[in-house]
Structure 1
Amino acid sequence: MDPEEEEEFGFSRNYFLARESGSAPGKKSARKLSDIDLVDDQVLRAAAAGIATKHEKEIESLQESYRNLYSKWLFELKCHFGLLMYGFGSKKILLEDFASAALTNYGVVVINGYLPSVNIKQALFAVAELLQDQLTVKRRCSKGNKSKSQPPCSSQSIEALLSSLNEQLSDENDCFVCVIIHNIDGPALRDPETQQYLARMACCSHVRVVASIDHVNASLLWDKKMVHTQFNWCWYHVPTFAPYKVEGVFSPLILASGTAAQTTKTALVVLQSLTPNAQSVFKILAEYQLAIEKEEGQNAY
């Protein structure tokens, strides 16, 4: 038995020994959530960053198997499909490696959906501007094609930018801008309006989308038209088992102490993990506590 297997066996054995020496079945535990010793957020993140990575060879072999799919993914993009990556682990390195290896002849715009806020208008302007530059170069290289189109302007509205993307039609079918969206299900992109903007951008003839998802309910963001007509997704299960180092910076750690704002975010994370029925119960209790006097509300639970 190698050291890693011995370590995992030790964890399992200690768990069952702790269960055996615990309280009798049916007896309520005297432990409370307030008994947990919370640590500083930065201390906890530093400790998490120091955890040694396991199974590095197996993970690298898995990444190499995905690299063998790059030519297939590029072919599907040329056929007007979008690529949607899902599976356990961060897909950030995978998508950026695909872009640097297979999309060198195309324009690439990256949207980091895991950020707390994303300027969707600025992202659309970057796509329109890059596409305009690519089409201009193509037309200069094409003899006899002197057609010109109005360049995008940063002061244009989102609707105008989307319209400009649709108007930039030409015979260069192989010319497109690929939009890499890390966590298209991220907090800043989950609202229906933003998803509609992204879907309308994705169905433009010279735009392709490669995105990743990690939220269990990500598929509920889209209706049938968005999935099959606008985004036109090809779904790929690509578990990487890579840590969410960059994405996790913007998510609160449940066992870390912090400000009132961090505590609120942590509470929201816990509530979102509950079933709809449990969320309804907490909502009723919160409304009841707010409705009664403060002194009475302290004992409402």
Structure 2
Amino acid sequence: MRFLSALTAAASVALVSAQEAARFGIVNVTPTGLLSANESITIKYNSTLAQYQPLYVDFYLEGEFSNGNAAPNLLISRNTYDANQTILIQNATVPNLDLLGNVTYGLWAWVTYNQDGLTEIGGISSSSIEPLLETKTKTISCKDRLDARAVHVTSSFSTIMSDSESVASDSTSGSSSENETSNAPPTPSASKRRRQQRVAQQPGEMIVQTAFDAYFKHMASRAQTSTNIYSSLIPPLSAEEYADASSSFGPQKIQSELLVSQTSRASLFQRLLLELQEGFNIICYGYGSKRTLLNDFAIESCSYVGNVVVVNAFQPHFGLKDLLSCIEKIPGVDSLTLPSSSVENQSRRICDFFARPSSKQHLYLIIHNIDSPALRLSKAQTCLSMLALNPKIHIVASVDHINASLLWSSSEQSTRKDAQEVGVLAGRGFSWLWHDMTTLIPYDFELSHADRSSISGVSGSLRKRDAIQNGISTISETAALHVLASVTAKAKKLFTLMAERQLETIVAATSSGPVDDLQQYAIGYDTLYQAARTDFIATNDTALRALLGEFRDHDLVVGAQQGSSGEILWIPMRKERLAKLLSTLKTSE
């Protein structure tokens, strides 16, 4: 069992007089007064401890900082308890406490004894802590767990000394500490300031690092961060560049049997077509892109039995009106009257056209990602339900969202198609059959609109905002060529003029700014206006803004205000892509 006694001191260690020490079971303490370096101390106990067979006594300093946190323990020496109940501390080394800052230290004696051949450690009850010597002295009562006999060994060998007194010592402890028994439980705490367990010390060590010290030592250095951002150093790839790059590296992709085996593929297509003709609509789920497989089904099977419309609902700018407008391009649909151009009336006209008894045509809708944000709206679901319940309109859709099935109630999913008459409003339902079409194909085409070097680029609205601020292109080369093919000859000349000026500025620039900071190569609106007048492209401001309007609408030209310089304009394409586009444009002329 361990008994402890304490000596508290601020900057030095002092012992109490022999008369005061005798009150707490200590017969004699020699010498009294301050404890200095390399000084021998003899402490003689009375016979109270003899019956507990003391083994050895550890003397060490334990302290706390001014904020109440525990300070590192400083071992002075370990001593064997002799038969005369006399403990002799020889050549005890006291560290320089001034180097540790504002720390209050106390001298503690830990007595380990053996009873009945077992080394025991007594527990400390907080209720047994009683003040015995004014307010600075506490008695720690350690109860023997074997026979519940209590033996009191009192704390406080000394009084608190002033902070101005100090004992300096540069030498290290020559005494070594023995390892305690491995099965001994942790030493109980002696007071509120001893919050942590005593740490076993290596021989020769004076200061033991606690978890408290280790934490602040680890947190002392500031984390190293960088101001370089990946998206500012590496320009984003276009959809074509990404497709070319991804196809040339990496291991062979794992593909489903539906894509490898022609027999399984033909059997699946035959089954899907039969289910559609029986009045069901099909919804496909599973990991991997299903776009290629469904497009092949539309070409190889559906195109021979009716009209086919393929919808890429995953596109960020897709809307329900785009779907309905595409269906209305089927010959004969626009011959029916349309009361208004609302999507409900468009859907009703399409349903009336295919519900006519004289009409033998069937419509096959292939919708990629029917769970896209544009088609989750209640109005969109109502219009799709009108089409899905038409006996001559068949829908094959894919979903990738994990909660896609929550878009429809159980009754809507199981509602069957009935014969419809022209002008009769059908109920809401889809008559879904679910098919697992796991292909394990990457979603390359579905994510081609996203900026892969920026997380915010996945959002179409954020990408448009970033294009204005950072000059990142939101239009591919192919789309740019389609836009340029639909504009007037003067608009093409204006774009060519801007592209040539921007390329010349990029080549001549010596700036080492970010790769995608194209705003620094912009041309002022006034400068562009003068150049357009010289080349007879636009003779007035109104004509120039009309030509630029088509390019602004498609994000092919972006602009920004620059203080007193007015508006500046630039093409959001980096040097290589813009040069390739300009070369293709000149070749086509």
Q: Distance in 2 between matches of 1:204 and 1:251?
A: 36
Contact 1:38-1:256 within 8 A present in 2 as well: no
- In the other structure, the counterpart of 2:462 is 261
Q: Distance in 2 between matches of 1:32 and 1:208?
A: 59
- Give yes or no for the alignment of 1:250 onto 2:449: yes
Change (3 A) 1:218 1:200: same
- Give yes or no for the alignment of 1:52 onto 2:246: no
Q: How does 1:134-153 map to 2 (within 5 A)?
A: 150-151=335-336
Deviations 1:133-162 (A, max 9, x none): 6xxxxxxxxxxxxxxx95365963222222
- Give yes or no for the alignment of 1:42 onto 2:236: yes
- In the other structure, the counterpart of 2:318 is 118
Change (3 A) 1:215 1:31: farther
- In the other structure, the counterpart of 1:205 is 391
- In the other structure, the counterpart of 2:430 is 231
Indicate the structure with greater helix content.
Answer: 1
Contact 2:367-2:398 within 8 A present in 1 as well: yes
Q: TM-score, normalised by structure 2?
A: 0.33
The amino acid that maps onto 1:65 is S
Q: TM-score, normalised by structure 1?
A: 0.61
Contact 2:413-2:432 within 8 A present in 1 as well: yes
Q: Which of the residues 327, 334, 337 maps onto 1:127?
A: 327
Q: SS of 2:371's equivalent?
A: coil
Q: Distance in 1 between matches of 2:340 and 2:374?
A: 22
**CA positional deviation for 1:218:** 1.4
Q: Distance in 1 between matches of 2:462 and 2:350?
A: 40
Q: SS of 1:159's equivalent?
A: helix
Q: SS of 2:311's equivalent?
A: strand
- In the other structure, the counterpart of 2:287 is 88
Q: Distance in 2 between matches of 1:237 and 1:70?
A: 13
**CA positional deviation for 1:112:** 0.9
The amino acid that maps onto 2:462 is A
- In the other structure, the counterpart of 1:157 is 342
Q: Distance in 2 between matches of 1:207 and 1:77?
A: 9
Q: Which of the residues 251, 273, 279 maps onto 1:74?
A: 273
Q: How does 1:187-206 map to 2 (within 5 A)?
A: 187-206=373-392
- In the other structure, the counterpart of 1:179 is 365
Higher relative contact order (CA 8 A, sep 6+): 1
- In the other structure, the counterpart of 2:478 is none
Deviations 1:47-96 (A, max 9, x none): 65543352467654267523321111111111111111111111111111
**CA positional deviation for 1:181:** 0.4
Q: Distance in 1 between matches of 2:359 and 2:225?
A: 60
The amino acid that maps onto 1:54 is Q
- Give yes or no for the alignment of 1:216 onto 2:402: yes
Q: SS of 2:346's equivalent?
A: helix
Change (3 A) 1:41 1:79: farther
Q: SS of 1:208's equivalent?
A: strand
Q: Distance in 1 between matches of 2:337 and 2:225?
A: 55
Instruction: Show structure 2 runs of 5+ residues with no match.
Output: 1-214, 416-428, 467-589
Contact 1:118-1:189 within 8 A present in 2 as well: no
Q: SS of 1:124's equivalent?
A: helix
What is the identity percentage for the equivalent residue pairs of Structure 1 and Structure 2?
28
Contact 1:66-1:238 within 8 A present in 2 as well: no
Contact 1:63-1:94 within 8 A present in 2 as well: no
Deviations 1:78-127 (A, max 9, x none): 11111111111111111110011111221011111011122322422433
**CA positional deviation for 1:228:** 1.9
Contact 1:183-1:212 within 8 A present in 2 as well: yes
The amino acid that maps onto 2:252 is K
Q: Distance in 2 between matches of 1:33 and 1:125?
A: 52
Q: SS of 1:248's equivalent?
A: coil
The amino acid that maps onto 1:73 is L
Change (3 A) 1:56 1:204: same
Aligned pairs, how many?
224
The amino acid that maps onto 1:52 is G
Change (3 A) 1:64 1:262: farther
